[in-house]
């Protein structure tokens, strides 16, 4: 699954980079999403594979903090890139005449930079909170990686401050992107419903199909982790749900975009024919 995820996302990056017809904002953001997915899955799965081979689940304190930090950065990047892609579809459908001006290369670069900077801030908030904990040996976590929610639950100090930091971090990485996605699609649906022809409505909605599938898969699995663990308190169910959004989602994203996107399929077909 790890190799399929990495190779699939690398194929998306290669396809976008090799075909000048795909040098558009939508595919630029898709390329960055694929890179974020590679980093996201590479933060957790290689360590898990080593643990399975060595029959040891130990990780150092510094290694745990590093893993949590990188996991948060790439996870937040996924969140914000999905929001930026929703905004891109909103401008393309609701303001098509202004699309070239609004989504110019400089604006697209700024959106990527702000997404990364916000993700970095969010990860450092988690790390600063975790660094205040007393160093305890032999702590066990009911997951296959250093899940930020479980790490911060080990706090032995001021839980009120930790909770406030957690709520603020969740607002940055969760509430803001979800609100942006919902607002964008509210505007998109309102505009599409005013299109008189059914063909025009289908064409407009078809450009959003892949993005909506990825959004539902990513957020559905992520919400399943935290809501499921809050209701059932089952470590096994929490770990299974974590596998869904930390491993399965990055693996399925390339298939969703390549199978539902004619331009990506044509480019990949040409690349395969060249190699053969």
What are 179-214's pLDDT values in tens digits? 999 999 899 888 888 877 777 777 777 777 777 888
pLDDT score, position 235: 60
DSSP string, the chain: -HHHHHHHHHHHHHHHHH-GGG-SHHHHHHHHHHHHHHHHHHTTHHHHHHHHHHT-----HHHHHHHHHHHHHHHHHHHHHHHHHHHHHHHHHH-GGGHHHHT-HHHHHHHHHHHHHHHHHHHHHHHHHHTTSPP-TT---SSSS--HHHHHTT--S-HHHHHHHHHHHHIIIIIHHHHHHHHHHHHHHHHHHT-SSHHHHHHHHHTTHHHHHHHHHHHHHHHHHHHHHHHH--HHHHHHHHHIIIIIHHHHHHHHHHHH-HHHHHHHHHHHHHH-
pLDDT (average), residues 264-272: 79
Give the N- to C-terminal CA distance of the chain in Å, as an integer.
25
Pairwise CA distance, residues 154 & 130, whole Å? 9
Please give the pLDDT value at position 28.
93
Q: pLDDT digit string (tens) for 229-265?
A: 555 556 666 667 777 778 888 888 888 877 667 778 7
Higher-confidence position of 62 and 119: 119
The residue range of the domain holding 248 is 2-275
Number of domains the chain is built from: 1
Lowest average pLDDT, out of 56-65, 95-104, 241-250, goes to 241-250
The size of the chain, in residues, is 276
Which of 55-69, 82-96, 139-153 has the lowest average pLDDT? Answer: 139-153
Distances (CA, A) of 231 to 110, 125, 227, 235: 40, 26, 6, 11
How many C-beta neighbours within 10 Å does residue 217 have?
A: 17
CATH number at residue 238: 1.20.1070.10
- What pLDDT is stored for residue 31 in this prediction? 92
Mean pLDDT value across residues 89-99: 89
Average pLDDT over residues 79-100: 91
Spatial distance between the Cα atoms of 232 and 156, rounded to a whole number of angstroms: 24
Predicted pLDDT of residue 39: 93
Query: How far is C-alpha 125 from the chain's CA centre?
Result: 19
């Amino acid at each position: 699954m790890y190799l399929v995820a990495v190779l699939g996302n690398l194929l998306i990056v290669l396809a976008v980079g090799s075909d000048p017809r795909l040098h558009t904002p939508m595919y630029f953001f898709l390329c960055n999403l694929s890179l974020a997915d590679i980093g996201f899955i590479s933060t957790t799965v290689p360590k898990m594979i080593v643990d399975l081979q060595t029959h040891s689940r130990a990780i150092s304190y510094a290694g745990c903090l590093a893993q949590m930090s990188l996991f948060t950065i790439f996870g937040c990047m996924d969140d914000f890139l999905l929001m930026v892609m929703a905004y891109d579809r909103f401008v393309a459908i609701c303001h098509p005449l202004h699309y070239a001006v609004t989504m110019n290369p400089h604006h697209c670069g700024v959106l990527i930079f702000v997404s990364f900077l916000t993700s970095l801030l969010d990860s450092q908030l988690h790390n600063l909170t975790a660094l205040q904990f007393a160093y305890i040996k032999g702590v066990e976590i009911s997951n296959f990686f250093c899940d930020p929610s479980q790490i911060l639950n080990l706090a032995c100090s001021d839980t009120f401050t930790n909770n406030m930091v957690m709520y603020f971090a969740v607002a940055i990485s969760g509430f803001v992107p979800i609100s942006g996605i919902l607002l964008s699609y509210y505007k998109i649906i309102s505009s599409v419903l005013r299109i008189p022809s059914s063909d025009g409505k289908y064409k407009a909605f078809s450009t959003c199909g892949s993005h909506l599938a990825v959004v539902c898969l990513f957020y559905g699995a992520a919400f399943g982790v935290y809501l499921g663990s809050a209701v059932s308190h089952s470590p096994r169910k929490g770990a299974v749900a974590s596998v869904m959004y930390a491993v399965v989602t990055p693996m399925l994203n390339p298939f969703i975009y390549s199978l539902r996107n004619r331009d990506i399929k044509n480019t990949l077909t040409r690349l395969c024919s060249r190699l053969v």
